[in-house]
Amino acid sequence: MAREICERAERHAGGSAIRPRMRARLTSFLTPVTVLLAISLVTCGNRPACAGVEQPDRPLPVRIGDLISKTYEFDGRLISFEGEVIGDVMFRGDSAWVNVLDSSGAIGVVVTRDMASQVENTGAYAVKGDIVRVTGVFHRACSVHAGEIDVHAESFQIVRRGGPVRHAIAPGRIVMACTLLGAAVVLAYAARIKGRLGSPLGGSPKTS
């Protein structure tokens, strides 16, 4: 590789031959760099591969945040957690993706069509999503779903139905909004009189 670079450098120099000493220096510099890079590439991996983990009979109760932060610990294990279905239920063929959120984070869960059809409310601004209990196998880098971090649900139960959420308007904010907009109108009028607004937002104002 180092020799190739030297040869390319020669060609770029318009065919003039590189002095032998310089060529030797370039080679002696580039060869160890290439070797070091190759060694670092080979030795950088120090993490265990996702090994098959013996399944306990009972699912391990977890929080979603723990699954995300301790992926190697829970990889391939039967786990169970509770959370709110958020966003969209995305049907794909015989299965569907639902995203489930608890106080520590959100994760994608692969469910069957029948399981997904139970969901009536998905969490958003104006809706509290259905609370579900998911029991399934956690995958750090799912081999079926191109390396996704996911949970393949074995059971998917609705624990509590969600529904519409009302957001109250604070009267103080209405007053504040009206006051500020009123003040802005007065200031705009003053600016117009002083000739500071040539056109509403641009144009040529009076200059000094």
Partner 1 sequence: MSAVKIARGLSKTELLNILFYTGKVVLWLGALMVIPAVVAVIFREWAPFFDFLIGIGLSLCVGLIFVLAGRPVERGLTWTQGFAVASFSWIVAMFLAAVPYYLSGHWNAYLDALFDVMSGFTTTGVVLVQDLDHIAVSVNAWRHLLTYVGGQGMVVLALTVLSRGLPGAFKLYVGEAKDERLMPSVGETAKAIWFISVIYLIIGTLVLSVSAMAIGIDPVRALLHGAFVFMGAWSTGGFAPQSQNIAYYHSFLFEAATVPFLIAGSLNFGLHYAIWNGRRREILKNIETQVFATVLTILTLVGLGATIVSRTYDGPLALARRVVYQFISAQTTTGFATIYPAQFANEWPVLAILAISISMLFGASASSTAGGFKGVRVGMVVKSLKHEVRKLMSPESAVVVEKMHMGEDIVLEDRNVKLASLIILLYLVIFTAGVLVGVAYGYPLPQAIFESASVTGNVGLSSGVTAPSMPWPMKVLYIFMMWIARLEFMSVLVLFGLIFKLTKK
| Whole-Å CA distances, 92 to 96, 120, 167 | 5, 18, 34
- Return d(Cα 23, Cα 55) in angstroms, integer: 61
Q: Which of 148, 152, 154, 158 binds partner 1 (CB under 8 A)?
A: 148
Scanning 28-36, 52-60, 154-162, 177-185 for contacts with partner 1 by CB under 8 A, the matching segment is: 177-185
CB of 188 to partner 1, least distance (A): 6
> What is the maximum alpha-carbon separation in the chain?
84
Check residue 167 for interaction with partner 1 (CB under 8 A).
yes
Quick one: CA torsion of 113, 119, 125, 126, rounded to 10 degrees? 140
Check residue 177 for interaction with partner 1 (CB under 8 A).
yes
Q: Given the complex with partner 1, which of 159 and 190 has the nearer CB atom?
A: 190
Q: Which of 120, 141, 152, 154 binds partner 1 (CB under 8 A)?
A: 141
Alpha helices (H) in the chain, listed in sequence order: 2-12, 20-43, 64-69, 71-74, 113-117, 171-193
CB of 79 to partner 1, least distance (A): 16
Check residue 35 for interaction with partner 1 (CB under 8 A).
no
Check residue 181 for interaction with partner 1 (CB under 8 A).
yes
Check residue 105 for interaction with partner 1 (CB under 8 A).
yes
> Using CB atoms within 10 A of its CB, is residue 136 exposed (0-12), middle (13-18) or buried (19+)?
buried
Which residues face 98 on adjacent strands? 109
Question: Does residue 15 come out as left (phi exceeding 0), alpha (psi in the -120 to 50 range) or beta?
Answer: left
Q: Which of residues 60-79 bind partner 1 (CB under 8 A)?
A: 68-72
Q: Which of residues 107-126 bind partner 1 (CB under 8 A)?
A: 107-108, 123-126
Q: Which of 4, 20, 46, 164 binds partner 1 (CB under 8 A)?
A: 46
Check residue 15 for interaction with partner 1 (CB under 8 A).
no
Q: Given the complex with partner 1, which of 61 and 113 has the nearer CB atom?
A: 113
Check residue 44 for interaction with partner 1 (CB under 8 A).
yes
Check residue 104 for interaction with partner 1 (CB under 8 A).
no
CB within 8 Å of 28: residues ≥ 6 apart? none
